[in-house]
Structure 1
Amino acid sequence: MLIPPPSGHDAAVTVVEYYDYRCPFCRRAHPDMVRLLEEHGDNIRYVFKQFPVLDRDGENGVSHFAARAAIAASKQEVFPAFHEKLMTHEGSLNKGVILDFAEALKLDMGRFRSDMDDPALSAYFEQTINLARMIGISGTPTYVINGQVLAGAQGYDAILDLVEKTRN
Structure 2
Amino acid sequence: MPQQSFLDSMPPKQSFYFGLISGIGGMAIAGLLFTMTGGFASGGSPLAKATAPSAPSPTAAALAPSPTPSPTPTAADMPPVTDADWVRGDVNKAQVVLVEYSDYECPFCQRHHPTMQKIMQDYGDKVAWVYRHFPLTSIHPQANPAALAAECVGEQKGNDGFWKFTDAMFDNQDQLGDTFYEQTAKSLGVNVDTYTSCYTSKKYAQKVSEQYNGGGAAGVSGTPATFVNGQLVSGAVPYEQFRSIIDSILN
Is TM more than 0.5 here? Answer: yes
1:115 aligned residue: 198
Q: Deviations over 1:100-141 (max 9, x none)?
A: 21122232112212333354x222222212221122111111
2:228 aligned residue: 145
Q: Deviations over 1:82-117 (max 9, x none)?
A: 111101115242222222211222321122123333
1:64 aligned residue: 144
**Alpha carbons of structure 1 residues 165 and 113: separation in structure 2 relative to 1, 3 Å:** farther
The aligned runs of 1:38-49 (5 Å cut-off) are: 38-49=121-132
Helix, strand or coil at the partner of 1:9 = coil
Conserved 8 A contact 1:21-1:66: yes
User: 1:90, 1:49 → 2: CA distance?
Assistant: 18
User: 1:103, 1:82 → 2: CA distance?
Assistant: 11
Alignment TM-score, normalising by the size of structure 1: 0.85
Which of 201, 207, 213 is matched with 1:130 structurally?
Answer: 213
Conserved 8 A contact 1:20-1:63: yes
2:170 aligned residue: 87
Which of 150, 160, 164 is matched with 2:243 structurally?
Answer: 160
User: 1:34, 1:149 → 2: CA distance?
Assistant: 18
2:109 aligned residue: 26
Cα distance, 1:56 vs structure 2: 3.0
Conserved 8 A contact 2:147-2:208: no
Q: Deviations over 1:6-54 (max 9, x none)?
A: 234221111001110000111111111111111113111211111112x
Q: Which moved more, 1:40-49 or 1:93-102?
A: 93-102
Aligned CA RMSD, in angstroms, stands at: 2.2
Cα distance, 1:154 vs structure 2: 0.4
User: 1:45, 1:104 → 2: CA distance?
Assistant: 26
Alignment TM-score, normalising by the size of structure 2: 0.59
The one-letter amino acid paired with 1:32 is T
User: 1:65, 1:90 → 2: CA distance?
Assistant: 13
2:119 aligned residue: 36
Unaligned runs of 5+ in 1: none
Which structure is larger by alpha-carbon Rg, 1 or 2? 2
User: 2:139, 2:239 → 1: CA distance?
Assistant: 33
Conserved 8 A contact 2:90-2:128: yes
Helix, strand or coil at the partner of 2:194 = helix
Conserved 8 A contact 2:99-2:131: yes
Q: Which moved more, 1:157-166 or 1:14-23?
A: 157-166
| Equivalences, count | 161
Unaligned runs of 5+ in 2: 1-86
Helix, strand or coil at the partner of 1:56 = coil
Higher relative contact order (CA 8 A, sep 6+): 1
The one-letter amino acid paired with 1:64 is N
Cα distance, 1:80 vs structure 2: 2.0
